[in-house]
Copies of this chain bind each other. A is one copy, B any other.
Amino acid sequence: MGELLKASRGERVEHVPVWFMRQAGRSLPEYRQVRAGVPMLESCRRPELVCEITMQPVRRHGVDAAILFSDIVVPLVAAGVDLDIVGGVGPVIAEPFRTEADLPPALAPEQVSFVDEAVRLLTKELGEVPLIGFAGAPFTLASYLVEGGPSKHHEKTKALMYGQPELWHALCARLAEITLTFLQVQIAAGASVIQLFDSWAGALSEADYRTYVMPHSSFVLERIKVPRIHFGVGTAQLLTAMGEAGADVVGVDWRTPLDTAAALVGGRAVQGNLDPSVLFAPWEVVEREVRRIVAEGRSAPGHIFNLGHGVMPETDPAVLTRVVELVHSL
């Protein structure tokens, strides 16, 4: 059961470890059942519910890791930022970030004691199966705060970044501290790997990523003592820089083959990269793609099989289970 940890360190594995981003979520009927009537943020604050939701895909699919059920805005809300997650929209910020006075307060570990409790419940229940801790990276959190919610073009974020770089760096430095505290609480309670999600980093050129984003992600990653996975979507142009940011494993979406990615990330392990849309194709296509990805992953020192982005809600969970069996058999 330690295959995921071994792969993240580039050690020899018995089989390629596998988990799925958003494995705990709307594709599972048992998830929809326990979430019925419970708002998203509320569900992240109930340790027993978090434990149950996090365990569901482990029981059902036999994946090699659990990932803490949470949301990237959870530490912001805990620190006192006024926001809500609106169904069909995403996070909506009451007062978008404009000036230094809007800097989010620091996060005290006690403010996320519900996460500490959930992780303790989970590590007991998981036994040998590792728990992946979870946090959003500073750039992605900053984009939500500046845009006031999800954004297609991140134009306000970039205007701040280019126009007021000192204020930008102050915001990202604060977000990096919040993220680090949030992850350290999870690690102290038993998380044995972490994934830092920079969902929107793919909106940037490599030069802008290195100037405005990477220092803050590195601040977080360099202070974490367990294996670190770093993931973003649409990052074909950023893989080398993301490899240098301080992660042990670079997550890759489906746009870049893993052998190409392995060469770009400089001797680190890779994670990915089945297109979540492929799960809607006939099984022969899924099987062909899984086999291709496992073969391409062998050119990296370590490979953690995953999707290239989160499981989509309409995905048939039986196909996910079959993918786990297939990956383990190869």
Residues of B within 8 A of A314 (CB): 155
Digitize A252-277: 1 where CB-to-B-CB distance is under 8 Å, 0 elsewhere. 00111100000000000000000111
From B237, B254, B277, A255 is in contact (CB under 8 Å) with B237
Residues of B within 8 A of A99 (CB): none
5 new A-B contacts, CB < 8 A, other than A153-B277, A163-B280, are A155-B314, A159-B277, A159-B281, A202-B255, A236-B237
Closest CB of chain B to A26's CB: distance in Å?
Answer: 14
From B156, B203, B281, B312, A163 is in contact (CB under 8 Å) with B281
Does chain B have a CB within 8 A of A188? no
- Chain A residues 267-326 with CB under 8 Å of chain B are 275-278, 280-282, 285, 309, 312, 314
List chain A positions with a Cβ less than 8 A from chain B: 153-159, 162-163, 202-207, 234, 236-237, 254-257, 275-278, 280-282, 285, 309, 312, 314
Count identical subunits in the complex. 2
Residues of B within 8 A of A163 (CB): 280-282, 285
**CA separation between A203 and B202, bound complex, in Å?**
12
Residues of B within 8 A of A162 (CB): 277-278, 281-282, 285
From B202, B205, B255, A275 is in contact (CB under 8 Å) with B205
Residues of B within 8 A of A277 (CB): 153-155, 157-159, 162
Q: Which of A155, A163, A257 has the most CB of B within 10 A?
A: A155
* A–B complex contacts, Cβ < 8 Å, 12 sampled: A153-B277, A155-B312, A158-B277, A162-B278, A163-B281, A202-B234, A202-B255, A203-B255, A204-B255, A206-B257, A234-B234, A234-B255
Q: Which of A157, A237, A282 has the most CB of B within 10 A?
A: A237
Residues of B within 8 A of A309 (CB): 153
Q: Are B153 and A312 in contact (CB under 8 A)?
A: yes
Q: Are B158 and A275 in contact (CB under 8 A)?
A: yes
**CA separation between A155 and B277, bound complex, in Å?**
5
Residues of B within 8 A of A256 (CB): 205, 237
Q: Are A257 and B312 in contact (CB under 8 A)?
A: no
Closest CB of chain B to A260's CB: distance in Å?
Answer: 8
Residues of B within 8 A of A255 (CB): 202-205, 234, 236-237
**CA separation between A162 and B156, bound complex, in Å?**
38
Q: Are A205 and B285 in contact (CB under 8 A)?
A: no
Residues of B within 8 A of A153 (CB): 276-277, 309, 312
Q: Which residue on chain B has the smallest CB distance to residue A234? A: B234
**CA separation between A276 and B158, bound complex, in Å?**
10
